[in-house]
A and B are shown apart, each in its own frame.
Chain A
Amino acid sequence: MKKIIIIGAGVIGCSIARELSRYDASVLVLESNNDVACGTSKANSGIVHAGFDAKPGTLKAKFNILGNPMFDRLSKELDFPFKRIGAMVLCFSEQDFPALTELYQKGIKNGVEGLEVLMGDKVRELEPYVSDKVVAALVAPTSGIVGPYEMTIAYAENAYTNGVSFEFNKKVTSIKQSGEWIVECEDGSSYSADLVINCAGVFADEINNMVCDDKMKIVARKGEYMLLDKTSGYIAGKTLFQLPTAMGKGILVSPTTHGNILLGPTAVDVDDKACTSTTVEGLNDAFSKACMSVPTFNKRMVITQFSGLRAHNVDGDFVIGMSAKQGFYNVAGIESPGLTSAPAIAVHVAKEVAEHLALGVNADFNPIRKGIKQFSTMSDDEREKAIAENPLYGKVVCRCEVVTEGEIVDSINRPLGARDLDGVKRRTRAGMGRCQSGFCTSRIMEILSRELGIDMQDVTKFGKGSNLLIGRVK
């Protein structure tokens, strides 16, 4: 059987893994972190872009347009949150009309459906909290929102149950070719493969440069975000973008699939590709720009902040395809609209790889993945049934998001389950509410310790070195 190694378990690596599991091959995903979706895929805007923004003729435009319509079916197949809520690009000055028109025309050229330009008050009829200063907006009904890490986890779980292997805490340090490809990791382990796919996100240049003469440069572009409490009331029903102005590229205000409001991201290139800390300047910048779109924001509505790094290819477009070295395949520079494009990229890459390796079909492939039964969104009848089936569904652990012990245990014990606090959080939302895990931290630690059979002191926030406890009292 042909062996394939995918480097990186972000949305790109996991979606390709899943699409490749339709074929008869031995696929291994190597991830440097303790879980899937630990890089860019966990910290981004979660937007399924309509496709008016990408430059016509680019890979970004192509895969954006192909990817967007795939979400309706995919989100049902893989059971991840997705809503097609539409988007608006807000225009703050009549001087910017030409830019708005240009965006509209670019959208038409890319094949985006349903685009429409509305003037000031019409905009506020649709979104009443939009600033009075908005003179017009481009409306794109096909835009949507998605849970980015839920989508990545769903892809990974489905890949796993269809036979793909995953190895975590495997930082790749060298890739050599001697008949087959030999991939070596920091911990001394090594793996062989007939084909290697580079999906290493912000580190994709380092991986490429281990192999290819054609060097690549990926810049980490930091984006900082603020998340507002669900109880902040109605702010926006659609994703609100800002038309780039002389003041710079704008930031977005968008509902999330869980009913929070997200604002951000800023865009600052950083040297340290591991640095996802937030900054005072960044957060202030995101907040003040968001207030341009919706002036009624109040910092008291904020429950958390985070930042993510976009993998920006200095050449501008996605890099997708076999490198000059046969058997080393790059999927790099996947920044926005990367999340939207992922499903289409994955299908494309899997098809190319399958042809290259002459792979047969996996007759047992099952496209369906069921997520964790979510207590908070159940009806009372469903809740009654869930508790009757599994009494742990009657034990509420996270008060703010109403997450039960049943869901937390499932998140740990399911295929490719959570192994740390953040993993539980991304799978169940426990700790994502307004108290930000103040009450549930110790309970979730106990559950992790019990289910994984590890000592409390070995429970981490996100793997190596992120232990929460340093010892026993007394």
Chain B
Amino acid sequence: MKEMICICCPMGCHLQVDASDLSNIKVTGNTCPRGEKYAKDEMVCPKRMVTSVVRVNGGTINMTSVKTSESIEKKLIFDALDTLKGITLDAPVHEGDVAVKNVCGSGVDFVVTKNVPKK
């Protein structure tokens, strides 16, 4: 039995999840169907958006920000972050530019979220 807080709305329902059988996950404590779906997704394959920064060379600021183009498996977060180490983009960079392609083979890219013009 695993406990979790539902984040679908401000209610913050405390969910109890029985995932002894992954094909038949039982959720209690939810007040709406969204809670059940949230709990099941969290048990089967939790995913997160990852945001961070990368260095920029020759820009008005030293760093730009990046995000994963889609959410990635939670267990990949730190490996994904490692792919940003040692990367330097040359200014100008634009929102939507790909900083790292196919992060850890997930099919998801790290894309730039902030324009940095040339100095």
Q: Are any A and B Cβ atoms less than 8 Å apart in their complex?
A: yes
Interface of A toward B, CB cutoff 8 Å = 473-474
The answer to whether B104 has its CB under 8 Å from any CB of chain A is: no
Query: With a CB–CB cut-off of 8 A, which chain A residues contact B54?
Result: 474
The answer to whether B85 has its CB under 8 Å from any CB of chain A is: yes
> Using a CB-CB cutoff of 8 Å, which residues 56-90 of chain B contact chain A?
63, 84-87
Query: With a CB–CB cut-off of 8 A, which chain A residues contact B55?
Result: 474
Interface size on B, residues (CB 8 A): 8
Question: Could you tell me the distance between the alpha carbons of A261 and B9 in the complex, rounded to whole angstroms?
Answer: 46
Question: Could you tell me the distance between the alpha carbons of A474 and B53 in the complex, rounded to whole angstroms?
Answer: 8
Query: With a CB–CB cut-off of 8 A, which chain A residues contact B84?
Result: 474
Inter-chain contact total with CB atoms closer than 8 Å: 9
6 A-B pairs with C-beta separation under 8 A: A473-B53, A473-B63, A474-B53, A474-B55, A474-B84, A474-B87
Question: Could you tell me the distance between the alpha carbons of A473 and B52 in the complex, rounded to whole angstroms?
Answer: 10
Query: With a CB–CB cut-off of 8 A, which chain A residues contact B85?
Result: 474
Q: How far in angstroms is the closest Cβ of chain B from A443?
A: 13
Q: How far in angstroms is the closest Cβ of chain A from B75?
A: 22
Task: Identify 7 new A-B residue pairs, CB closer than 8 A, beyond the known A473-B53, A474-B87.
Answer: A473-B63, A474-B53, A474-B54, A474-B55, A474-B84, A474-B85, A474-B86
Q: How far in angstroms is the closest Cβ of chain A from B115?
A: 19
Question: Could you tell me the distance between the alpha carbons of A328 and B33 in the complex, rounded to whole angstroms?
Answer: 85
**CB-CB nearest in chain A for B84:** A474
Question: Could you tell me the distance between the alpha carbons of A155 and B111 in the complex, rounded to whole angstroms?
Answer: 56
**CB-CB nearest in chain B for A456:** B62
Question: Could you tell me the distance between the alpha carbons of A473 and B87 in the complex, rounded to whole angstroms?
Answer: 11
Query: With a CB–CB cut-off of 8 A, which chain B residues contact A474?
Result: 53-55, 84-87
Question: Could you tell me the distance between the alpha carbons of A474 and B54 in the complex, rounded to whole angstroms?
Answer: 7
**CB-CB nearest in chain A for B53:** A473
Query: With a CB–CB cut-off of 8 A, which chain A residues contact B86?
Result: 474
**CB-CB nearest in chain B for A472:** B55
Question: Could you tell me the distance between the alpha carbons of A474 and B86 in the complex, rounded to whole angstroms?
Answer: 7
**CB-CB nearest in chain A for B81:** A474
**CB-CB nearest in chain B for A473:** B53
Q: How far in angstroms is the closest Cβ of chain B from A471?
A: 13
The 9 closest A-B pairs by CB, nearest first: A474-B85, A474-B55, A474-B84, A473-B53, A474-B54, A474-B53, A473-B63, A474-B86, A474-B87
Q: How far in angstroms is the closest Cβ of chain A from B116?
A: 15
Question: Could you tell me the distance between the alpha carbons of A474 and B84 in the complex, rounded to whole angstroms?
Answer: 7
Q: How far in angstroms is the closest Cβ of chain A from B55?
A: 6
Question: Could you tell me the distance between the alpha carbons of A474 and B88 in the complex, rounded to whole angstroms?
Answer: 10
Q: How far in angstroms is the closest Cβ of chain B from A455?
A: 13
Question: Could you tell me the distance between the alpha carbons of A473 and B62 in the complex, rounded to whole angstroms?
Answer: 11
Question: Could you tell me the distance between the alpha carbons of A473 and B53 in the complex, rounded to whole angstroms?
Answer: 8
Query: With a CB–CB cut-off of 8 A, which chain B residues contact A473?
Result: 53, 63
Q: How far in angstroms is the closest Cβ of chain B from A466?
A: 23
Question: Could you tell me the distance between the alpha carbons of A473 and B66 in the complex, rounded to whole angstroms?
Answer: 14
**CB-CB nearest in chain A for B86:** A474
> Using a CB-CB cutoff of 8 Å, which residues 73-113 of chain B contact chain A?
84-87
**CB-CB nearest in chain A for B54:** A474
Q: How far in angstroms is the closest Cβ of chain B from A380?
A: 31
Q: How far in angstroms is the closest Cβ of chain B from A284?
A: 36
**CB-CB nearest in chain B for A474:** B85
Question: Could you tell me the distance between the alpha carbons of A473 and B63 in the complex, rounded to whole angstroms?
Answer: 9
**CB-CB nearest in chain A for B63:** A473
User: Could you mark each residue 18-55 of chain B with 1 if its beta carbon is under 8 Å from any beta carbon of chain A, else 0?
Assistant: 00000000000000000000000000000000000111
Query: With a CB–CB cut-off of 8 A, which chain A residues contact B87?
Result: 474
Question: Could you tell me the distance between the alpha carbons of A474 and B99 in the complex, rounded to whole angstroms?
Answer: 14
Question: Could you tell me the distance between the alpha carbons of A474 and B85 in the complex, rounded to whole angstroms?
Answer: 5
Q: How far in angstroms is the closest Cβ of chain A from B100?
A: 12
Question: Could you tell me the distance between the alpha carbons of A447 and B111 in the complex, rounded to whole angstroms?
Answer: 32
Q: How far in angstroms is the closest Cβ of chain A from B4?
A: 31
Query: With a CB–CB cut-off of 8 A, which chain A residues contact B53?
Result: 473-474
Question: Could you tell me the distance between the alpha carbons of A216 and B84 in the complex, rounded to whole angstroms?
Answer: 61
Q: How far in angstroms is the closest Cβ of chain B from A396?
A: 19
Question: Could you tell me the distance between the alpha carbons of A474 and B66 in the complex, rounded to whole angstroms?
Answer: 13
Question: Could you tell me the distance between the alpha carbons of A349 and B85 in the complex, rounded to whole angstroms?
Answer: 61
**CB-CB nearest in chain A for B88:** A474
Question: Could you tell me the distance between the alpha carbons of A473 and B61 in the complex, rounded to whole angstroms?
Answer: 14
Question: Could you tell me the distance between the alpha carbons of A474 and B63 in the complex, rounded to whole angstroms?
Answer: 10
Question: Could you tell me the distance between the alpha carbons of A474 and B83 in the complex, rounded to whole angstroms?
Answer: 10
Q: How far in angstroms is the closest Cβ of chain A from B103?
A: 15
Question: Could you tell me the distance between the alpha carbons of A474 and B87 in the complex, rounded to whole angstroms?
Answer: 8
Q: How far in angstroms is the closest Cβ of chain A from B29?
A: 39
Question: Could you tell me the distance between the alpha carbons of A4 and B53 in the complex, rounded to whole angstroms?
Answer: 55
Q: How far in angstroms is the closest Cβ of chain B from A81?
A: 37
Q: How far in angstroms is the closest Cβ of chain A from B110?
A: 12
Question: Could you tell me the distance between the alpha carbons of A331 and B112 in the complex, rounded to whole angstroms?
Answer: 63
Q: How far in angstroms is the closest Cβ of chain A from B18?
A: 41
Q: How far in angstroms is the closest Cβ of chain A from B57?
A: 13
Question: Could you tell me the distance between the alpha carbons of A473 and B86 in the complex, rounded to whole angstroms?
Answer: 10
Q: How far in angstroms is the closest Cβ of chain A from B91?
A: 16
Q: How far in angstroms is the closest Cβ of chain B from A450?
A: 14
Q: How far in angstroms is the closest Cβ of chain A from B72?
A: 19
Q: How far in angstroms is the closest Cβ of chain A from B86?
A: 7
Q: How far in angstroms is the closest Cβ of chain A from B36?
A: 39
